[in-house]
């Protein structure tokens, strides 16, 4: 009888009919998720420090989400997108009430890419202009407009992007993009960036789109005052400002919204991952004046699942839990605790070049050499695999650099934070030399 060879990681039987759409699939099938944990088919327990795809804001399978889904299943799941359910109306009001004036007009959509697509279309039709300025290292989605302003990765070999796509440097204080600052950013990258926009634009700048903290780009936290100066540059030129708060919105950064840290209000705001709690739900939010102008100019952004009742019901439950359980405040407190624990690891392990972030979206940059800051691509891969074997799931981000994104559910406990730190410490001790 011929021997049966075990399938290799490059081919597993369950992948036979799956189209690969990016990174390799995980080696395990996940059969259950609860709170901060994932459970594999063979019974392993994995602490999830990525909150799914950054979407399980209040933990996996939160009882309030399950309850909301059941309730929607007994009332209405889907309607024509011109028909509204009470929960759709209530959620738009709830979001408007949480935001500063003049942000009070809401469209509910599905994914972050779709919300950013709508935001770009809204900016174009409201201004009559077509140039959209992004930030190097950004991630806004994979639909045409959103992909054209995405610079973290995924740009190669797809042909021309949307006409009018411009970019300025990322405010990466650990790796100054203009080789200018060391330890003390003076935001020259932003000023020089707009000098270049002035030099290269054809005078049709509609909007700048930016994440208050870049996530896929490597957890890049702009220096204090950056968003305010960005607002000034936009206002001087009559350019709209779009904040993509897919990952920073609704509590993750220790405040309800990332822009609150500087008190800079955007012209258009997009929300997504943190709003649906694991279901596809996003929103684009703007002002009465912007909405009026866009409608007069013929704004259209129909989708088959716009204003879906089921996801709106879940979105209300997510917002309720975040507010009632004070999860933004919890993210601020636990984020500081996690940051301190990570800095302890940095002190003892020279593979950690930098620790940064805010609230419960933190980055750990892995380097091959602390002096040269050479990225530790192979090192972070080996460390991540070992962490997973030990029961910790973390994402790698950072484009050309090697960064762990630590973003557990906002419901994470101190004990679970300590468990993650112990696993990170164990993996670093095994694989990388001590500091």
pLDDT in tens, 132-167: 999 999 999 999 999 999 999 888 999 999 999 999
pLDDT band of residue 272 (cuts 50, 70, 90) is very high
Tell me whether residue 347 is in a domain.
Answer: yes
Residue from 87, 117, 124, 139 carrying the catalytic annotation: 139
pLDDT of residue 14 exceeding 90: no
pLDDT of residue 15 exceeding 70: yes
Residues 373 and 258 in one domain: no
Mean pLDDT, to the nearest integer, of 191-214? Answer: 97
Domain containing residue 29: CATH number: 3.90.1150.10
Decide if 247 is catalytic: yes
In the chain, the percentage of residues whose pLDDT exceeds 90 is 88
Residues 107 and 253 in one domain: yes
User: How many angstroms separate the CA atoms of 254 and 21, rounded?
Assistant: 33
Tell me whether residue 281 is in a domain.
Answer: yes
- Among 269, 299, 324, the domain boundary falls at 324
Q: Are 414 and 334 in contact (CB under 8 A)?
A: yes
Residues 41 and 105 in one domain: no
Q: What is the pLDDT of residue 319?
A: 98
| Residues β-bridged to residue 214 | 220
Nearest by Cα to 277 from 245, 250, 241, 305: 250
Q: What is the pLDDT of residue 180?
A: 81
pLDDT band of residue 7 (cuts 50, 70, 90) is very low
User: How many angstroms separate the CA atoms of 284 and 122, rounded?
Assistant: 9
Residue from 48, 114, 129, 247 carrying the catalytic annotation: 247
User: How many angstroms separate the CA atoms of 386 and 380, rounded?
Assistant: 10
Q: What is the pLDDT of residue 433?
A: 64
Residues 155 and 303 in one domain: yes
Mean pLDDT, to the nearest integer, of 26-30? Answer: 89
Residues 147 and 220 in one domain: yes
pLDDT of residue 182 exceeding 90: no
Residues 186 and 78 in one domain: yes
Residue from 105, 252, 330, 405 carrying the catalytic annotation: 405
Residues 179 and 306 in one domain: yes
In this structure, what token pair is assigned to residue 48?
A: 């999830």
Residue from 131, 244, 255, 365 carrying the catalytic annotation: 244
Residues 239 and 125 in one domain: yes
Q: What is the pLDDT of residue 434?
A: 64
Nearest by Cα to 183 from 193, 168, 172, 170: 172
Residues 279 and 310 in one domain: yes
Q: What is the pLDDT of residue 18?
A: 86
Tell me whether residue 4 is in a domain.
Answer: no
Q: What is the pLDDT of residue 27?
A: 84
Tell me whether residue 246 is in a domain.
Answer: yes
Residues 52 and 102 in one domain: no
Residues 319 and 187 in one domain: yes
Q: What is the pLDDT of residue 432?
A: 79
Decide if 273 is catalytic: yes
Q: Are 160 and 223 in contact (CB under 8 A)?
A: no
Residue from 48, 211, 255, 308 carrying the catalytic annotation: 211
Full domain range(s) for residue 385: 13-58+326-431
Residue from 124, 129, 273, 396 carrying the catalytic annotation: 273
Tell me whether residue 305 is in a domain.
Answer: yes
Decide if 405 is catalytic: yes
User: How many angstroms separate the CA atoms of 306 and 233, rounded?
Assistant: 33
Q: Are 341 and 348 in contact (CB under 8 A)?
A: no
Q: Which of 128-137, 149-158, 236-245, 250-259 has the lowest mean pLDDT?
A: 149-158
CB hemisphere CA count around 192 (13 angstroms) = 12
pLDDT of residue 6 exceeding 70: no
In this structure, what token pair is assigned to residue 305?
A: 């699942």
Q: What is the pLDDT of residue 2?
A: 36
Residues 30 and 129 in one domain: no
> pLDDT, tens digit, for every residue of 37-77?
999 999 999 999 999 999 999 999 999 999 999 999 999 99
- Among 324, 351, 374, the domain boundary falls at 324
3-state secondary structure the chain: CCCCCCCCCCCCHHHCCCCCCCCCCCCCCEEEEEECEEEECCCCEEEECCHHHHCCCCCECCHHHHHHHHHHHHCCCCCCCCCCCHHHHHHHHHHHHHCCCCEEEEEEECCHHHHHHHHHHHHHHHHCCCEEEEECCCCCCCCHHHHHCCCCCCCCCCCCCCCCEEEECCCCCCCCCCCCCCCCCCCHHHHHHHHHHHHHCCCCEEEEEECCCECCCCCECCCCCHHHHHHHHHHHHCCEEEEECCCCCCCCCCCCCHHHHCCCCCCEEEECHHHHECECCEEEEEEHHHHHHHHHCCCCCCCCCCCCHHHHHHHHHHHHHHHHCCHHHHHHHHHHHHHHHHHHHHHHECCEEEEEEECCEEEEEEEEECCCCEECHHHHHHHHHHHHHHCEECEEECCCCCEEEECCCCCCCHHHHHHHHHHHHHHHHHHCCEC
Mean pLDDT, to the nearest integer, of 20-28? Answer: 85
Give the count of domains, the chain: 2
Decide if 244 is catalytic: yes
Mean pLDDT, to the nearest integer, of 230-235? Answer: 98
- Among 259, 291, 324, the domain boundary falls at 324
Q: What is the pLDDT of residue 382?
A: 96
CA 144 from chain centre, in angstroms, equals: 18
The CA R_g of the chain, rounded to the nearest whole Å, is 22
Tell me whether residue 53 is in a domain.
Answer: yes
User: How many angstroms separate the CA atoms of 66 and 69, rounded?
Assistant: 5
Q: Are 303 and 81 in contact (CB under 8 A)?
A: yes
Tell me whether residue 150 is in a domain.
Answer: yes
| Residues β-bridged to residue 32 | 39
User: What mean pLDDT value characterizes the chain?
Assistant: 94
Tell me whether residue 396 is in a domain.
Answer: yes
């Amino acid at each position: 009888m011929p021997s049966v060879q075990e399938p290799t990681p490059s081919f597993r039987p369950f992948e036979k009919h799956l189209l690969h759409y990016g990174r390799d699939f995980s080696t395990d099938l996940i059969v259950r998720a609860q709170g901060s944990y994932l459970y594999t088919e063979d019974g392993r327990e994995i602490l999830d420090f990525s909150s799914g795809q950054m979407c399980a804001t209040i933990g996996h399978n939160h009882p309030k989400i399950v309850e909301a889904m059941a309730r929607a299943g007994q009332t209405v799941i889907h309607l024509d997108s011109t028909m509204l359910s009470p929960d759709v109306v209530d959620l738009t009001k709830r979001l408007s009430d949480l935001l500063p004036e003049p942000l009070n007009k809401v469209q509910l959509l599905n994914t972050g890419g779709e919300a950013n697509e709508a935001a770009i279309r809204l900016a174009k039709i409201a201004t009559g202009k077509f140039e959209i300025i992004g930030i190097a290292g950004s991630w806004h989605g994979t639909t045409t407009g959103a992909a054209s302003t995405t610079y973290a990765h995924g740009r190669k070999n797809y042909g021309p992007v949307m006409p009018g796509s411009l970019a300025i440097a990322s405010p990466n204080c650990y790796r100054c993009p203009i080789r200018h600052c060391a330890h003390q950013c003076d935001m020259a990258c932003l000023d020089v960036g707009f000098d270049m926009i002035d030099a290269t634009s054809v005078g049709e700048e509609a909007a700048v789109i930016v994440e208050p903290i870049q996530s896929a780009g490597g957890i890049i936290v702009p220096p204090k005052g950056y968003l305010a100066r960005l607002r000034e540059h936009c206002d001087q030129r009559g350019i709209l400002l779009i904040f993509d708060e897919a990952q920073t919105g609704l509590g993750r950064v220790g405040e309800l919204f990332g822009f609150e840290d500087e008190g800079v209000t955007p012209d258009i705001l997009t929300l997504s991952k943190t709003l649906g709690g694991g279901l596809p739900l996003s929103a684009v939010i703007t002002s009465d004046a912007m909405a009026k102008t866009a409608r007069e100019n013929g704004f259209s952004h129909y989708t088959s699942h716009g204003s879906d009742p089921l996801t709106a019901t879940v979105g209300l439950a997510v917002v309720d839990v975040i507010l009632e359980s004070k999860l933004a405040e919890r993210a601020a407190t636990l984020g500081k605790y996690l940051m301190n624990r990570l800095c302890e690891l940095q002190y003892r392990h020279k593979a950690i070049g930098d620790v940064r972030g805010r609230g419960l979206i933190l980055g750990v940059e892995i380097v091959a050499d602390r002096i040269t800051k050479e990225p530790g691509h192979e090192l972070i891969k080996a460390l991540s695999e070992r962490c997973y074997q030990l029961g910790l799931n973390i994402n790698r981000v950072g484009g050309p650099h090697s960064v762990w994104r630590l973003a557990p559910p906002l419901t994470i406990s101190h004990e679970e934070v300590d468990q993650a730190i112990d696993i990170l410490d164990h993996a670093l001790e095994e694989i990388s030399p001590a500091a």
